[in-house]
Amino acid sequence: MTSASTSRSFFKELPFLAVTAVVLALLIRTFVLQTFYIPSGSMERTLHGCEGCTRDRVIVEKVTYLFSDPDPGDIVVFHGTGDWPREDLIKRVIATAGQTVECCEEGKVVVDGDPIDEPYLYQDDHRAFEKVTVPDGMLWVMGDHRSGSSDSRDNGFVPVDSVVGHARLIIWPVTRWDWL
């Protein structure tokens, strides 16, 4: 085989390789991993999204929630529905279907009668809300920067079906690379 025929063979395969790469990238983005910018400061200090700061970019893994629902403590990206803004949002799951949530006992959110430990909180406004039981197929979510977060206290429950995936890794800026 001559070098001329080798280069012709490469150029014949190039369109196939390009189409394959695009299809694989779309499949991965649709079903496995996707990146998101943090849109606000509601998850500060865990995730930066404040005005004037370099907003974090996170990798969201989509496979886990194809087989199970989110757990309390998970940081999830979801599509806003109902009273939520019609955009992608990121919050921490506080309670899932069947759990009761209320505020506050000694300044702590209470789930199923027990105050939860939240070492990730940045600022907590201790804003009271009615005791609620999370319905089937729903989540109660809150931001880590409670005084700067519009969350389930304001917008109600989040349907599990609207969850895009589990935020797993901060990838940008490089100085903030970290597992979530």
3-state secondary structure 14-33: HHHHHHHHHHHHHHHHHHCE
Residues 40, 62, 91, 149: which is the catalytic one? Answer: 91
Tokens for 127, please give them.
């804003």
**Given this model, what pLDDT does residue 144 score?**
95
Confidence of residue 142 (pLDDT cuts 50, 70, 90): very high
In this prediction, residue 12 carries a pLDDT of 82
The pLDDT of residue 3 is 58
Told to judge if 91 belongs to the known catalytic residues of this protein, a careful annotator would answer yes
Is residue 143 within 8 A of residue 149, CB to CB? The reply is: yes
Which residue type does 121 have?
Answer: L
Using CB atoms within 10 Å of the CB of residue 143, give its burial: 0 to 12 exposed, 13 to 18 middle, 19+ buried: buried
Q: How many whole angstroms separate alpha carbon 157 and alpha carbon 73?
A: 16
pLDDT, the chain, mean: 91
6 band by pLDDT with thresholds 50, 70 and 90: low
Would you say 151 and 139 are in contact if contact means Cβ atoms under 8 Å apart? no
Element (H, E) at 64: helix 64-67
- H or E segment and range at residue 172: strand 163-172
Lowest-pLDDT choice from 9-13, 108-112, 148-152, 169-173: 9-13
To the query of whether residue 7 is one of the catalytic residues in this protein, the response is no
Please name every residue paired with 95 in a beta bridge, in sequence order, or none if there are none. 140
Give dist(CA 115, CA 124) in Å, integer. Answer: 14
Name the active-site residue from 40, 42, 152, 162: 42
Provide the whole-model pTM.
0.88
